[in-house]
């Protein structure tokens, strides 16, 4: 018969790869870290075991297995005859169902509108491997992008009847390749990020990378993506310029400003939220008088004093930017549109430095920071310690792009030239 001490410390069966934590170790952690830390560890362990039991990781894979394409086997056909120049085209744009305020969808929809304004018929084909409610998706699109006229439907099992189709992400590129395999159609890929960088090197990285080899006409938003395509896999792309919604983001305050702005996306590591939190913690120690404004995701466990504004509409962001000295515009797979929107309002954007990124954001007023907590904190401190005067604010705002017309025109020209002859 075991003693109480022996029973408490007797090794118990555990799942492979899961180290057993005995009573003594639990007590040590309670003394060292407190109940909150230990409780969170217990919850995480339980959640992991539940996820393993029900194989919930499979739900995170963004494609149905039958929709995975392979560039080694693909033999996609183009039409033998293209439409006559000046003829209205019937275009399909593949994307995932958007959420309210999605920046990537907004940029894509601007390109769609650019083609609509030139007389072409456009349809949005939404792809969600879990089968989202199409009526709800339609309602979101009509409410948040009311200027878009395109028909909205789910991606059919067989894509046919279009003059050209445009993918907008690596997942929809796979879907376009597999579901239009029997059709002779012009295929395009509007690329806003070098998407393999969304993942560690592995299966998803490789599948995302392979989407650029399908033989579509690649259209890159900005030089950073074009250079990444060429340097990493030797693929070329037509490049269209960035834009900015200059009708919404306007310089309206030439007077005093206070505080810094932080766009938080905890679940999207490429947005640098964790790095931003570390930098802002250091910044707060050096400048506790400066209020930290956070919008986007809430940060409930972050102990740095801040004001969380939730998700803001563009007009609300314009107001916040116009009253702030500086803001973080971190992004690691392409330049964030936030940077130029801040410039338009006279807010100094702090951008993680990279040689490729500088090609797409040459306007004055940007503070480039080494992507470390201290590097970013130093840039924030420089911004608030030497705020811009009224004349400098005007010059910075004037240097920002004013609209998306050049990007729309360039995208439309690429599609029209390829699809007509």
**pLDDT tens digit string along 53-104?**
444 444 477 999 999 999 999 999 999 888 888 899 999 999 999 998 888 9
Mean pLDDT across 223-250 = 95
Q: Are 348 and 325 in contact (CB under 8 A)?
A: yes
The position carrying tokens 């183009």 is 78
**Mean pLDDT value across the chain:** 89
124 has which bridge partners? 93, 152
- The predicted pLDDT at position 76 comes to 95
Q: Are 195 and 172 in contact (CB under 8 A)?
A: no
Tens of pLDDT, residue by residue over 369-413, are: 999 999 999 999 999 999 999 999 999 999 999 999 999 999 999
Token pair of 189, please?
């890929």
Q: Are 154 and 125 in contact (CB under 8 A)?
A: yes
Return d(Cα 260, Cα 79) in angstroms, integer: 53
Return d(Cα 277, Cα 287) in angstroms, integer: 15
- The predicted pLDDT at position 46 comes to 57
Mean pLDDT across 206-224 = 97
Tens of pLDDT, residue by residue over 12-65, are: 444 444 454 566 766 676 677 766 655 555 655 654 554 444 444 444 779 999
Tens of pLDDT, residue by residue over 133-160, are: 899 999 999 999 999 999 999 999 999 9
**Residue extents of the structural domains in the chain:** 24-57, 65-243+406-419, 260-398
Mean pLDDT across 195-200 = 94
Is there a common fold for 65-243+406-419 and 260-398?
yes
C-alpha radius of gyration, the chain, whole number: 25
**Total number of residues shown for the chain:** 421
The fold for domain 65-243+406-419 equals Rossmann fold (3.40.50)
Return d(Cα 304, Cα 282) in angstroms, integer: 10
Q: Are 261 and 326 in contact (CB under 8 A)?
A: yes
166 has which bridge partners? 93, 188
The position carrying tokens 């702030």 is 324
pLDDT at 7 over 90: no
Cβ neighbors of 132 (< 8 A, separation 6 or more) are 97, 126
Return d(Cα 313, Cα 298) in angstroms, integer: 16
Measured CA distances, 119 to 88, 190, 420 (Å): 6, 20, 14
- The predicted pLDDT at position 15 comes to 46
Q: Are 126 and 152 in contact (CB under 8 A)?
A: yes
Return d(Cα 278, Cα 373) in angstroms, integer: 5
Token pair of 206, please?
């490789």
Pick the CATH number of 260-398 from 1.10.760.10, 3.40.50.2000, 2.130.10.10, 3.40.50.150: 3.40.50.2000
Token pair of 3, please?
């003693």
Helices (H), 85-169: 103-116, 134-144
Tens of pLDDT, residue by residue over 253-305, are: 999 999 999 999 998 899 999 999 999 999 999 999 999 999 999 999 999 99
DSSP letters for 390-420: HHHHHHHHHTS---SHHHHHHHHHHHHHHHB
Percentage of the chain modeled with pLDDT above 90: 76
The position carrying tokens 């005995």 is 22
Residue 205 pLDDT level (bands cut at 50, 70, 90): very high
Cβ neighbors of 19 (< 8 A, separation 6 or more) are none
Q: Are 297 and 311 in contact (CB under 8 A)?
A: no
Give residue 207's Cα distance to chain centre: 18
Element (H, E) at 105: helix 103-116
125 has which bridge partners? 94, 153
């Amino acid at each position: 018969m075991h003693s109480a001490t022996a029973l408490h410390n007797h090794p118990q069966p555990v799942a492979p790869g899961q180290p057993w934590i005995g009573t003594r170790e639990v007590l040590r952690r309670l003394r060292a870290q407190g109940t909150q830390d230990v409780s969170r560890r217990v919850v995480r362990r339980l959640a992991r075991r539940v996820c393993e039991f029900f194989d919930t990781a499979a739900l995170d894979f963004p494609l149905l297995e039958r929709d995975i394409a392979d560039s080694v086997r693909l033999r996609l056909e183009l039409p033998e005859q293209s439409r006559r120049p000046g003829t209205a085209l019937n275009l399909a744009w593949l994307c995932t169902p958007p959420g309210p305020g999605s920046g990537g969808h907004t940029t894509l929809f601007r390109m769609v509108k650019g083609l609509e304004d030139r007389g072409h018929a456009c349809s949005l084909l939404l792809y969600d491997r879990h089968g989202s409610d199409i009526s709800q998706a339609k309602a979101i699109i009509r409410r948040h992008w009311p200027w878009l006229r395109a028909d909205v439907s789910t991606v059919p099992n067989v894509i046919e009847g279009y003059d050209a189709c445009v993918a907008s992400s690596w997942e929809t590129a796979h879907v376009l390749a597999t579901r239009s395999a029997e059709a002779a159609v012009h295929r395009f890929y509007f690329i806003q990020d070098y998407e393999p960088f969304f993942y560690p090197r592995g299966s998803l990285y490789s599948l995302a990378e392979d989407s650029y080899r399908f033989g579509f006409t690649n259209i890159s938003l900005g030089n950073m993506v074009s250079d990444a395509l060429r340097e990493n896999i030797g693929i070329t792309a037509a490049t269209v310029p960035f834009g900015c919604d200059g009708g919404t983001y306007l310089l309206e305050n030439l007077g005093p400003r206070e505080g810094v702005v932080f766009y938080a996306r905890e679940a999207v590591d490429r947005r640098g939220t964790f790095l931003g939190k570390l930098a802002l913690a250091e910044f707060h120690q050096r400048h506790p008088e400066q209020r930290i404004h956070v919008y986007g995701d809430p940060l409930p466990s972050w102990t740095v004093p801040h004001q969380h504004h939730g998700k803001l509409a563009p007009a609300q962001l314009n107001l916040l930017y116009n009253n702030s000295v500086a803001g973080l515009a971190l992004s690691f797979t392409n330049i964030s549109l936030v940077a130029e929107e801040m410039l338009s309002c006279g807010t100094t954007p702090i951008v993680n430095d990279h040689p490729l990124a500088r090609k797409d954001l040459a306007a004055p007023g940007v503070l480039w920071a080494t992507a470390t907590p201290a590097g970013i904190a130093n840039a924030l401190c420089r911004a608030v310690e030497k705020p811009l005067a009224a004349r400098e604010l005007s010059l910075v705002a004037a240097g920002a792009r004013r609209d998306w017309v050049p990007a729309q025109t360039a995208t439309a020209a690429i599609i029209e030239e390829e699809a007509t002859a």
